[in-house]
Amino acid sequence: MDPPTGAAASPPAPTTLRRNPPRSARPPPTPLPCVKSKPALSRLLDDAASATIPPPERLKVFLRIRPLPERGCGKAKAPRKPKKPDLVCLVASGANSVALTVPHSKLVDPKRGRTEVFDGFSAVFSPDSSQHDVFTQVMNPLVDEFLGGKSGLLVALGPTGSGKTHTVFGTPRNPGLLPLTLRQIFTATDESSKGVTVIQPTRSFCLSMFEILSEGKGERILDLLSDASDLVLQQSTIKGLKEVFIESVADAESLVSCGMLKRSTAATNANNKSSRSHCIITIRAVHENADVESGKSLSNAVLTIADLAGAERERRTGNQGTRLLESNFINNTSMVFGLCLRSLLEHQKNKKKPLEKHFKNSMLTRYLRDYLEGRKKMTLILNVKPGDDDYLDTSFLLRQASPYMKIKYSPSYH
């Protein structure tokens, strides 16, 4: 604010730069004989040790844009007048970024469009990306680390009908991440066994598959590979869950196909085959004969793939009764999952801030606690729909997931 013109402005107060205060003169120190001290060697050892420790990894977050679906993908309805073709609100603007444009119908001032760029993704897969393109960047690193003895988790999430189940399971002609993962595991195992003269412990694999779904206003676990009904979640372990040893890709794919037949699905106005549960598949490496002479304990790494049911808006799905209870369960679980990740991020930013125990509010997050608290490595693949009609769902997911890219994992995870 300018000073009044009628009065003389007082001169500004002088600014004093405080440097180190003067010290009294001291006698020069007595020189000591030059002796090779031990700290120099320890510093070299410390530098060498720190050079071998890789820096923390950031959480990998991938984004896949599904092609625009054909009209009539929801429940069968009476024929209507043909609609105008869908307009696109989301496009890939680079290898790691997307541009989201507010649809014309949602603008306050139609003459002023607004486009927002979301970047920092590990990779963005455009609608014409193949399943193999996605597998190479998303799952290959997880499979390599799994075969090297480290556990890992892939979570597919996004709104209903965004292509999560297609990404994870695919079709017989266009297999998804899970079938391609199984093929890669057995291919790598067969190749490693060829030409090996050193006796190594025998390694085999077992597979389990289950879903978490709503039961009234609660939730329960259903084994998709058996008829067991008395499954109990104890910390991160499911008591009574059936694990099946798999000796080939054909065995594994047959099991998964049988499990998918039992998975809970239903038609809604937004998706004619909407998943009503969170499906989780685990592949566990089992060492049958460990090295007894050396006494080494070989870790049984676990690779987990989770296909989460898509968040739903009641106005769009038209759900009522049981379907509405399922929607509430799905949306609540998605909310708790996001709260866990945000709490982890806030704790990493400020260690004095406690890690909130949001995981207790959902069976899914209790089962995945080690990953949601940063002790094991997790990868996310977000699935979105690019149409104007999907703007609200897509915008919400992008804004919710953008901070997740700042989450870090220690290289010492197991």
Q: Give the pLDDT band (50/70/90) at residue 156.
A: very high
Neighbours of 407 (CB within 10 A): 22
Compute the average pLDDT of residues 222-247. 90
Going 28 to 29 to 30 to 33, the CA torsion angle's sign is negative
Q: Which amino acid is at 197?
A: T
pLDDT of residue 225: 95
Mean pLDDT comparison of 16-20, 44-48, 78-82, highest-scoring range: 44-48
Domain topology for 134-192+202-382: Kinesin (3.40.850)
Share of the chain above pLDDT 90, in %: 53
Known binding positions for ATP? 158-165
pLDDT in tens, 168-216: 999 999 999 999 999 999 998 776 655 554 445 567 999 999 999 988 8
pLDDT in tens, 343-360: 999 999 999 888 889 999
Show the tokens assigned to 157: 């999430």
Q: Give the pLDDT band (50/70/90) at residue 15.
A: very low
Q: What is the 3-state secondary structure (H, E, C) of 278-305?
A: EEEEEEEEEECCCCCCCCCCCCCCEEEE
Query: 309 pLDDT exceeds 70?
Result: yes
Q: Give the pTM.
A: 0.81
Known binding positions? 158-165
pLDDT of residue 24: 55
Radius of gyration of the chain from its Cα atoms, rounded to whole angstroms: 28
Domain boundaries, the chain: 134-192+202-382
